[in-house]
A and B are shown apart, each in its own frame.
Chain A
């Protein structure tokens, strides 16, 4: 069983060692379109309110009872500490009562290993984790062994999509909204020429990302267009074609940035001479077809297999934590009943600091 309460979702799932997902319960965040964002489930009490019910639902869906489990895995960080505590205390109580092995999982490790729940991918593989809160390139060398090649200096890529959608008056979540609008653009090349955007860090060494400047550039692009358009006072006053073209330009710009940085990471990863080189893309942003096609092309060009787990396993969920638990249990990596929780918990504590300064070297 895997329990995830580190962020906006309360999720519990049960998976087997032979990669079957017996249950997959997620209580999702409340979406509020008026704010152009998600109202986060900050309150630990909300997780507390739901967790027992979710555990029961997961057991019911799987048709098993607690003593049947071979172990309980739970996110022990990073995340909002109140929520993490709720999951961890629940897991510890169940493990204590039924004498089950206990595994404290790093949330990011859950994302990193998920692909092995659905595909046979051997270590080491290169992982691009792109979501609302993360944008990282990691070499997954094994369970518990991660080498971070790059991360975002400022905003995550999902955040760039959300904020661009907001600036363009599109709905939430920003990723699908921008993708939908961009699909209405007939001439992508012309769109890019008409609405050029900067490519932060592209062409430089290293694998770090920066999306904050892009956000500011999108803002400026939108404002200029409003000024240039006769009769348009604000964004809703802009012609639909312009919105579509701006979205298309933004999307391709993000694709170029991801491919440039991932390209550097591939070169670094291949230095280790992996037996079965693979690029794994995880996180909600991987659902974007334009980005996915660009990354797939990049992998192919470099002789890497391209794998992306299904979207329902890419966003936060319990199955990824359960699977990380399976991987850890197999290696005998269980935790004592007093294991701590962590608000901050990098997968690779030795990674060099990502900053503009380090990129300039």
Chain B
């Protein structure tokens, strides 16, 4: 298993990273975003969704709605926030199976997935850098097919 960590210096740097990753995404891809409250998971997703949008698009936090689907993108991007979820069954009710088959799935708080965790996924862990306000360490941990996949930013 390969692991790669990048030091991101600010939000703009993070946006550039998301835009580059967006270019290689295809139907069925799952990105599992880890990181504490305020690390920038939703902000990262916003950049990703907008990189693939025909024109700029609002990407609000999905904490309250649990899932936001962006259908102007091909394939559609499903943005899940499982922070408030406690039963795996509930995740299925949000359209999880459609998302992972026909969409590009970005999921925050993937630890809630339990047995639903897809074998093939790219985990992206966003960590605060001690004593720095804007910097983040972003680690990529590929699983399944992602292990052998080329990433353009490498």
Contact = CB atoms under 8 A, between A and B. Distances in A.
Interface of A: 32, 35, 37-40, 42-44, 79-82, 132-133, 151-156, 158-159, 163, 166-167, 212, 215-216, 218-220, 343-344, 353-355, 357-358
B60 A154 contact: yes
Contact of A154 (B39, B42, B66, B69): B42
B127 interface: no
Given A43-B89, A43-B93, A80-B94, A38 B61 contact: no
Query: Size band of the B side of the interface?
Result: 20 to 34
A69 to B, nearest CB: 31
Contact of B38 (A32, A80, A152, A215): A215
Determine the main DSSP class of B at the interface with A. Answer: loop
B101 interface: no
B84 A35 contact: yes
A35 B60 contact: no
Interface string B58-95: 11110111110100000000000001111101110111
23 contacts: A40-B66, A42-B66, A42-B93, A42-B94, A43-B90, A80-B66, A82-B93, A133-B65, A151-B58, A152-B60, A154-B43, A154-B59, A155-B60, A158-B64, A163-B38, A166-B37, A212-B42, A216-B38, A219-B36, A219-B38, A353-B56, A353-B57, A353-B58
Nearest to B43: A212
A37 B59 CA distance: 22
Nearest to B70: A344
Contacts of A159: 61, 63-64
Contact of B61 (A42, A155, A358): A155
Given A133-B65, A154-B43, A219 B57 contact: no
